Chains A and B, each alone.
Chain A
Amino acid sequence: MAAVIPDHLHDHHHHGPTGLMRWITTTNHKDIGTMYMIFSFIMFLSGGVMALTIRAELFQPGLQVVQPEFFNQLTSMHGLVMVFGAIMPAFVGFANWQIPLMIGASDMAFARMNNWSFWLLPPAAILLLGSFFVPGGAMAAGWTMYAPLSVQMGMGMDMAIFAIHIMGISSIMGAINIVVTVLNMRAPGMTMMKMPLFCWTWLITAYLLIAVMPVLAGAVTMVLTDRHFGTSFFNAAGGGDPVLYQHVFWFFGHPEVYIMILPAFGIISEIIPTFARKPLFGYASMVYATASIAILSFTVWAHHMFTTGMPAVGQLFFMYATMLIAVPTGVKVFNWVATMWRGSLTFETPMLWATGFIFVFTIGGFTGLICAVAPIDIQLQDTYYVVAHFHYVLVAGSLFALFAGAYYWLPKWTGHMADERLGKIHFWCSMVFFNITFFPMHFLGLAGMPRRIPDYALQFADFNAMATIGAFGFGFSQLIFIVVLVKCVKGGEKAAARAWEGAHGLEWTVPSPAPHHTFEVPPVVK
């Protein structure tokens, strides 16, 4: 039978609008992926500046740098910007670039909608960051926006609510696009259980996004009507309950933390086998573990609320359900270590980040297990111990995995190898300063220092000074990555199609840099 090949299939040159309009109107998954990643890096730096301002204020006891009201705005916006502006869009950028390349698809299933998913983010960022400049300042109720605080704030809160609505629309469209691409666009022979693990983790992540982003939209909509239209959802005088907000928010919020870590697991599961030169240990168990984590994530939300006066039965249920998540997560860590076991290991920059990830993420996992124990959590709730815990999983987990993935696939994206020396310096600086910043926070939390407060008692001074020094070191270390990026885009050692000798997968069968259109004729996977 003759292949039906349209004429323009051989036309690999970009056609259509050029200049800025190319980026505004593009339907190409690689262009859109690049935009996602640039956007997320800008938001990462913005959120980073907020974090450094917070740390500058906390360098010494007393109030030196900012007013308490502004400090509250900074902690709230740092959280929102990092979660919704930096980490989530960065992973979506990876999904855009990699999933079609990995499953042998010509593009995402809905290329035009893909463009809109990205271009909804800048308006949301304008609303979010612009709220600093309106009367009353930005939203200052914490990134969780608990009622009744969020019911009382000024117009900055409304801007945050609408920003969340817009980001929610973006996430849901992006997630539907990814699910449909993975389910419907795989090359012949690419069965589900042959898919790279990164695609599996993103499929499950996208499912979580579709399930919980609408719930967040519902939660903030109720805040909006309580604020302006006289409803009583979170007002006990009218028969409502402020704790209801926490339930609805964390029903979104807990799956959300897996939304931010499952794609990271996927990236690590691609990198470890490449540099161990062995196939991933326990592929099927990795898939099942990911799915188990996703399902369990819907049954643990109230572990964020142990101090709200929940009945003991509720505390016990959510405590045990939470501890259960350690099992599939343990399976993953075990499998990564078993993949490295007796492998012929080399430690190029991506592998350094990946092994670093396993080390620090596991610490964050263990402190999570400690927080899961209700009687202990009642002591630790809202202390710096919790801050330490979630930065170990979010910075050392999600962010380190993002850097690992960036160093791993930069050769495919740019056609040049990233600077190994600078990459390694970037890694070691980040690793050391990260621990200087966040490890002391465990001690601060255990000693009872509350989070989200701009001043503190004198006995906390030493560890806070240490954390601030670490934070500035960590912040400036990230500038190294800008240098690496610029150098890598501009030139450097030419990358082969298979940039890493141990790498497997369809993305390494196309040239580096990947041409504008790939796999217009689907490859056949054996």
Chain B
Amino acid sequence: MSQTYEKYFVPEPSRYPIFGSIALLLIASGAVMWLNKVGSGPWTLAIGFAVLIYMLFGWFGQVVRESEGGSYGKNVDASFRWSMGWFIFSEVMFFAAFFGALFYIRVLGLPWLADSDNSLLWPGFSAAWPSAGPLVEDPFTPMAAWGIPAINTLILLTSGATLTWAHWGMMKENRGQLKAGLFLTILLGAIFLSLQIYEYMHAYHEMNLKLTSGIYGSTFFMLTGFHGLHVTIGAIMLTVMLFRVIAGHFSKEHHFAFEATAWYWHFVDVVWLMLFVVVYWL
């Protein structure tokens, strides 16, 4: 008895991975040199990023060609779905490390620092949040939740809706709606990022809130900064999707790259909601 099976696509040998490795080696060495002020760090770093961008263009370009050329069957599609899910899980755990640091400091670290055991060491220190710790004496204003951050929450939630609307466009094979939805989502992402940059500038110049403002500044900028980086990556992914849609890629049945980008965007959205509640609001 013979049976039908679908051959799993195994790519031919590729030179892109080694370019990626060279890029990361250059980026890491460049960063080390720059931070320690030896050699020509910025140049090494820049060359590293140039190689990385070349690699990403080449590699993803090849994946797109393979996908549009019909190399990826149902099985490969399932692999992509599993892998994107697990990748997002790894990102969740990355953010969990920083959220965990924030919770630890607020719930355990600061109260211990202010308890009677340490009163000789840090007299008069109380564990009220936001805190810059007992020795940082540069007063700052904490970031309020109900200004730009609340507007940004609305913007990101709206962008989630426009992205879903774009997906409906894909499913109804309405390319106009798809393009408009994608464009709106990218636009909202860009507005979000602009407001975030404005907020940072405002914090540095008018509120004296800096990365060096003790543990509040550390956790604030680390969490919102890494989130902003992820929004940037998500927006780049969305832009690639828009260009692919304009180039006529994707069909109603075959558009996982688009879906993966949407998953990622919603993940970034959820992280923001967490941030809004525990970093800005509470």
Contact = CB atoms under 8 A, between A and B. Distances in A.
Interface of A: 1-6, 9, 16-17, 21-22, 24-27, 105-107, 109-113, 115-116, 119-120, 122-123, 126-127, 135, 154-155, 158-159, 162-163, 165-166, 169, 172, 175-177, 179-180, 183-185, 188, 210-215, 217-219, 222, 225, 227-233, 235-241, 243-244, 247-248, 251, 520-522, 524
Q: Which 5 A-B pairs have the closest CB atoms?
A: A218-B97, A239-B133, A239-B215, A116-B17, A237-B135
B222 A231 contact: yes
B63 to A, nearest CB: 9
B218 A179 contact: no
Contact of B25 (A25, A126, A135): A126
Point out which of A112, A227, A229 has the most chain B C-beta atoms below 10 A from its C-beta.
A112
Contacts of A106: 7-8, 10
Contacts of A177: 83
Main secondary structure of the interface of B (DSSP, over half): helix
A185 B38 CA distance: 48
A237 B134 contact: yes
Contact of B2 (A2, A159, A214): A2
B11 interface: yes
B93 interface: yes
Contacts of A232: 132-133, 136, 212, 214-215, 217-218
Interface string B8-27: 10111111111011101100
Nearest to B91: A214
Interface string B71-106: 000010011001100110111011011101100110
B21 A119 contact: yes
B214 A158 contact: no
A238 B218 CA distance: 9
Contacts of B98: 218, 222
Contacts of A111: 10-11
B105 A240 contact: yes
Given A112-B17, A120-B24, A238-B214, A27 B90 contact: no
Main secondary structure of the interface of A (DSSP, over half): helix
Contacts of A158: 31-32, 35-36
B69 to A, nearest CB: 14
B133 A238 contact: yes
B29 to A, nearest CB: 7
A215 B94 contact: yes
Contacts of B28: 123, 127, 159, 162-163, 165-166
Nearest to B113: A236
27 contacts: A2-B4, A4-B6, A25-B15, A25-B18, A27-B10, A113-B17, A119-B17, A119-B21, A158-B35, A162-B28, A163-B28, A183-B82, A184-B78, A184-B79, A211-B90, A212-B93, A214-B91, A218-B101, A230-B210, A230-B211, A231-B217, A232-B212, A232-B218, A238-B132, A239-B113, A241-B113, A248-B101
Interface centre among B13, B101, B215 (most CB of A within 10 A): B13
B235 interface: no
A239 B218 CA distance: 10
Contacts of B91: 214
| Interface range for B | 35 or more
A4 B82 contact: no
Contacts of A235: 133
B110 interface: yes
Contact of B14 (A6, A115, A165): A115
Contacts of B7: 4-6, 9, 106, 520
A214 B90 contact: yes
Given A184-B75, A184-B78, A217-B94, A155 B35 contact: yes
Contact of A211 (B89, B134, B210): B89
Contact of A231 (B2, B13, B104, B211): B211
